[in-house]
Structure 1
Amino acid sequence: MSNEKHREALSRTVTEKLRNGQVVVIRPLDRSDIDLEREFITNLSLESRHFRFLGGVGAPSEKLLQQLTDIDHDQREAFIATIDEDGHEVEIGASRYVLESTGKAAECAVVIADAWQMQGLGTLLLNRLIESARARGIDHLYSIDSASNAKLREVARNMGWDCRTDPEDHTQVIYTLDLTAV
């Protein structure tokens, strides 16, 4: 696809309605969102942080926050979902991918605030990520996740992702989505 279509897919801010009726804003993440990202990760449950980072992540370090918000819209892309809470923007979900050196595959991740899980937000954020990846010409998205993450397994299955056990670690699974299929 053209660079113009890719830029449009990246820069568009949309509003969506969740299953519970809440309206959320989904938009590209940028460096100025570091405080939103800090608060979001800090407020995730231990289980959600474990599933997202596949390990024990306590309070996010400045280095981690800088990496997560250093989005160049070329090698790295990210979208966040926010709500307005008493006049303040609050992040409730994020999706992102990092492009491999081949330019044809990207590793992705999605995380949803605990109180907002099972409302369709993960699907909305994944769809936005898929739209951006397709516009960029990426052939495959993949994600390495905990095999015990039942919520993600359900979302991935419903969206048509292939799932296989990680050959290097049986406690993890690898989800793959072929973006070239229509």
Structure 2
Amino acid sequence: MLKLNLADLGQYSDVVHTRRGEAVTLRFVTPGDADELQAYVRGLSSGSRYKRFLGAMSELPKTVLDDFTHTGRDDRFSLVASMSGDDVERIVGEARYAFHSEDDSVEFGLSVQDRWHGHGIGPALLQNLECRAAALGAISMFGDTLRSNDVMIRLAKKSGYLFRQHPDDWKLVRFEKQIGAGADRSCASLRLVVSNSADRMQAR
């Protein structure tokens, strides 16, 4: 299982690409990202915010923003997907996931900036999340979304998730997937787990 080095979160960053080949960096959120992350959330359409956070909001409440920007607190983690241009980094997507040790599962949610829908960022972000979840020792992933969220439902179906009725709220649907051995192995987090495991074996 991955133990985060909070002093060097940059080592867990990954680079993926849009369908047109633009580079997108996936990295952990830090406290210094608070203003830009809040601006990203405010910049989403009202419909996208409603679907992402399962309710109406114009921005992240201060307590939620603080939680988002402190990676690893209570086994909860936040990522941003960012692109660079003209020496400026801009957030084009985000994801939040939590590890549940009682059943080795990871719960997640994500969003992509409206203008970047259809460019392949969502699928790449989800695949990266599965790899990061495997690095934590998770054997399954799940998420909840509104039954009206066609974009997220379509993404989950294409990514191999199975759907079932939400246990508590009829307006939601839950999607789940077994990961582990079948997870993508290309993320920095999982490579570090494998490398550290090999080093421990050699030291014995």
Place the TM-score, normalised by the shorter chain, in its bin: 0.7 to 0.9
Would you say 1:139 and 2:136 are equivalent positions?
no
Aligned equivalents of 1:15, 1:99: Cα separation in 2: 23
Deviates more, 1:143-152 or 1:167-176: 167-176
Deviations 1:60-111 (A, max 9, x none): 2222211211211770122211112432211111122112251611210111
**Counterpart position of 2:155:** 155
Change (3 A) 1:61 1:74: closer
Cα distance in 2, alignment partners of residues 99 and 111 from structure 1: 19
Quote the residue 1:115 is aligned against.
115
CA distance in structure 2 between the aligned counterparts of 1:89 and 1:173, rounded to whole angstroms: 34
| Distance in 1 (alpha carbons) for counterparts of 2:86 and 2:62 | 27
Count of residue pairs the alignment pairs up? 180
Shift of 1:119: 1.1
TM-score normalized by structure 1?
0.88
Could you tell me which residue of structure 2 aligns to residue 12 of structure 1?
12
Unmatched segments (≥5 aa) in structure 1: none
Q: In 1, distance between residues paired with 2:140 and 2:166? A: 17
Partner of 1:124: 124
Aligned AA for 1:121?
I
The SS at the match of 1:19 is coil
Q: Secondary structure at the match of 1:170?
A: coil
Equivalent residue, structure 1, for 2:178: 178
Q: Which residue does the alignment assign to 1:69?
A: 69
Contact 1:163 1:175 in 2 (8 A): yes
Check the 8 A contact 1:29/1:69 in 2, yes or no.
Answer: yes
Q: Which consecutive residues of structure 2, in runs of 5 or more, have no partner in the other structure?
A: 183-204
Rounded Cα–Cα distance in structure 2 between residues aligned with 1:10 and 1:77 = 14
Q: Which amino acid aligns with 2:135?
A: A
Secondary structure of the 1:106 match is: strand
Q: Does 1:36 align with 2:11?
A: no
1-structure distance, mates of 2:168, 2:181: 28
Partner of 1:165: 165
* Aligned-residue identity in percent: 26
1:111 counterpart letter in structure 2: S
Q: CA shift at 1:10, angstroms? A: 8.2
Aligned in 2, Cα 1:33/1:21: closer, same or farther, shift over 3 Å?
same
On the 8 A contact 1:79/1:125 being kept in 2, the answer is no
Distance verdict in 2 for CA 1:9–1:158, change over 3 Å: farther
1:92 and 2:92 matched: yes
Counterpart residue identity of residue 19, structure 2: R
Q: Which amino acid aligns with 1:46?
A: S
Paired residues of 2:29 and 2:68 also in contact (CA < 8 A): no
Alpha-carbon shift at residue 43 of structure 1 (Å): 0.3
* Worse-matched range after superposition: 40-49 or 90-99: 90-99
